[in-house]
Amino acid sequence: MNIKNVSQMPVAEGKSVQQTVELLTRKLEVLGAEKQGTFCVDCETYHTAASTLGSQGQTGKLMYVMHNSEYPLSCFALFENGPCLIADTNFDVLMVKLKGFFQSAKASKIETRGTRYQYCDFLVKVGTVTMGPSARGISVEVEYGPCVVASDCWSLLLEFLQSFLGSHTPGAPAVFGSRHDTVYGPADTMVQYMELFNKIRKQQQVPVAGIR
Amino acid sequence: MAGPLSVGVNLEAFSQAIGAIQALRSSVSRVFDCLGDGLRNRETLEGREKAFIARFRDNLHSVHRDLHELERLSNLVCKPLENHPLHNSGLLSLDPAQDKTPLYSQLLQAYKWSSKLQCHAGLAAGLLNQQSLKRSANQMGAPAKRRPKAQPTMLLLPPQYVDDVISRIDRMFPEMSIQLSRPNGTSAMLLVTLGKVLKAIVVLRSLFIDRTIVKGYNENVYTEGGKLDIWSKSNYQVFRKVTDHATTALLHYQLPQMPHVVVRSFMTWLRSYIKLFQAPCQRCGKFLWDGLPPTWRDFRTLEAFHDTCRQ
């Protein structure tokens, strides 16, 4: 599996999300990256139905059902800090049948859409994160195809990120540090997207100018 | 095994067997003659077909009979002795008709000539090594007199020896696994898996490396038929670059007298790619140049460099 790093790009001061995305893509094009189609990742939140909760007063866990256009035939179901299930796209139909156990949270759908760029063996995906009608932030995913062990190529990825994100480079995501020798899989990417979406959701109360 | 006592018996069986072979050949050719003639002119089509089938059947029966006879005789004939020092070619010396077929003396001449050629080639290689024409490193060959006297090595090494050399190299490097297979006759093909970084396909001719292809750890190295795919290139630029460098290394590590040393040095060099994505360039200190990590490894020091930083 290809190593991917998903991070959030802060919106520049005094600029809109759209303008910042344009700035970023122009930087990539100057670097020599080529446009290569589009991508889309979406996420829906489900919470455990009240009727199935135990009497001990435990709180329901949140479950996230996600799709990624890179894996068009799969559907990912994740718990926070929990296991990740990779299923066929039919899983969506199953979720409708499981209404009694998992209920879709209203207006929780969050997604990111944007353009893919290819630069040598790197694949960069810059997307606008939208929740309902409003744009909330920018996601930057960098994929490095040749490498399969995340901790091996973190410094290399970091250098690449610095070349077009400048000072806004992120810290290493948990996936890159924790497990040393395991092969990176699609689930690791989806966990990163889930964390990014959660971060952006929490920021929604903050006034737009303060988004970081 | 045929001792001197049983030679007489054997010779008789031999002559009978040769007679049986001749009989078999003539009956087989009769079958083809009959097929070639086809249907002869007769009044009715049915008559023609019947006669043809009857003749054909008779001929096939005689082939069958002759073949049985030959099989019976072949059991009587023992295998010739195999422990002759020159193997099967030694049997040529037993041929009494020297004047008509001087094969054995010609063979000896050819053998002498080829070992002389080998010797001269070895000396020439030693001399050329001192005049290093190599662009990438100024490696001087060790002084010729310190090298052990060159044995005339055979180009065709026994497969067992190749297996031994490869399995010894396999044991030398724990992070490198080598799978040996022989899909096409005696030439071996190696699938080298280096950690979780890359896979390399190495095609050997005897113990000389002919070709190498480097691919990613997650790339498919087999064709649809399940054989090793030695032609298609990697999808990733970085491994295409490494393939180019590996081919350069093949040309660099040359020591005609000791092919096993060449294979070992090549593998040692290849092993340095275990840090392909982790080692920064030793000259510029960066990881990326033009989107590629440091793909070049120095032949002596095994240090990592970018292709453009190595001079």
pLDDT digits (tens, 9 = 90+) for B159-177: 888 999 999 999 999 999 9
Q: Does B3 have pLDDT greater than 50? A: no
Choice between A116 and B82, residue whose per-residue pLDDT is larger: A116
Q: How far apart are CA B38 and CA B48, in angstroms?
A: 9
Residue A156 to residue B287, Cβ atoms within 8 A? yes
**Which pLDDT does position B256 carry in this prediction?**
73
Whether chain A has a CB inside 8 Å of the CB on B287: the answer is: yes
**Which pLDDT does position B45 carry in this prediction?**
76
Size (chain B), residues: 311
Q: Which tens digits make up the pLDDT trace of B205-215?
A: 888 888 999 99
**Domain at A3-50+61-204, CATH from 1.10.3680, 1.10.760, 2.40.320, 2.60.40:** 2.40.320
Range with lowest mean pLDDT among B41-50, B113-122, B276-285, B293-302: B41-50
ipTM, 2 decimals?
Answer: 0.82
Which residue in B148, B156, B140 sits closest to B122, CA to CA?
B148
Token reading at B169: 């190299």
pTM value? 0.67
Q: Where are the alpha helices (DSSP H) in chain B?
A: 7-37, 45-76, 103-130, 159-172, 237-252, 259-271
Please list the rounded mean pLDDT of every run of 10 residues in chain A (212 residues): 67 75 88 90 84 59 88 88 85 85 81 91 90 85 87 85 79 66 82 86 55 33
Which positions in chain B touch A152 (Cβ < 8 Å)? Answer: 196-197, 277-278
Task: Pick the residue from chain A with its C-alpha nearest to B199.
Answer: A146
The CA distance from B262 to the nearest CA of chain A, in Å, is 28
Which positions in chain A touch B196 (Cβ < 8 Å)? Answer: 148-149, 152, 181, 183
Question: A107: left (phi > 0), else alpha (psi -120 to 50), else beta?
Answer: left
Whether chain A has a CB inside 8 Å of the CB on B288: the answer is: yes
Q: Which tens digits make up the pLDDT trace of B176-219?
A: 999 999 887 778 899 999 998 999 999 998 888 889 999 999 89
Token reading at B186: 């005696």
Q: Which tens digits make up the pLDDT trace of B124-144?
A: 888 887 766 554 444 444 444
Q: Where are the beta strands (DSSP E) in A22-133?
A: 34-48, 62-68, 74-79, 84-88, 102-104, 110-119, 122-131
Residue A120 to residue B287, Cβ atoms within 8 A? no
**Which pLDDT does position A107 carry in this prediction?**
75
Which of A149, A156, A159 is the closest to B196 by Cβ?
A: A149
The DSSP output letter for B80 is P
In the block, tokens 């392909």 appear at: B276
Token reading at A16: 């809109």
In the block, tokens 């489900």 appear at: A46
The CA distance from A159 to the nearest CA of chain B, in Å, is 7
> Which helix or strand (DSSP H or E) is residue A94 part of?
helix A91-97
Q: How many helices (H) and strands (E) does chain A have?
A: 5, 9
Size (chain A), residues: 212
Choice between B122 and B83, residue whose per-residue pLDDT is larger: B122
Residue A163 to residue B292, Cβ atoms within 8 A? no
Q: How large is the average pLDDT for residues B217-235?
A: 90
Q: Which residues pair with B176 in a beta bridge?
A: B194
Which residue in A145, A104, A88 sits closest to A121, CA to CA?
A145
* Residue contacts between A and B (CB atoms, under 8 Å): 56
Which of B196, B235, B280 is the closest to A148 by Cβ?
A: B196
Sign of CA dihedral B157, B161, B162, B165: negative
Token reading at B116: 């002389």
Whether chain B has a CB inside 8 Å of the CB on A197: the answer is: no
Whether chain B has a CB inside 8 Å of the CB on A49: the answer is: no
In the block, tokens 């256009």 appear at: A69
Q: Could you tell me the residue ranges of all domains in chain A?
A: 3-50+61-204
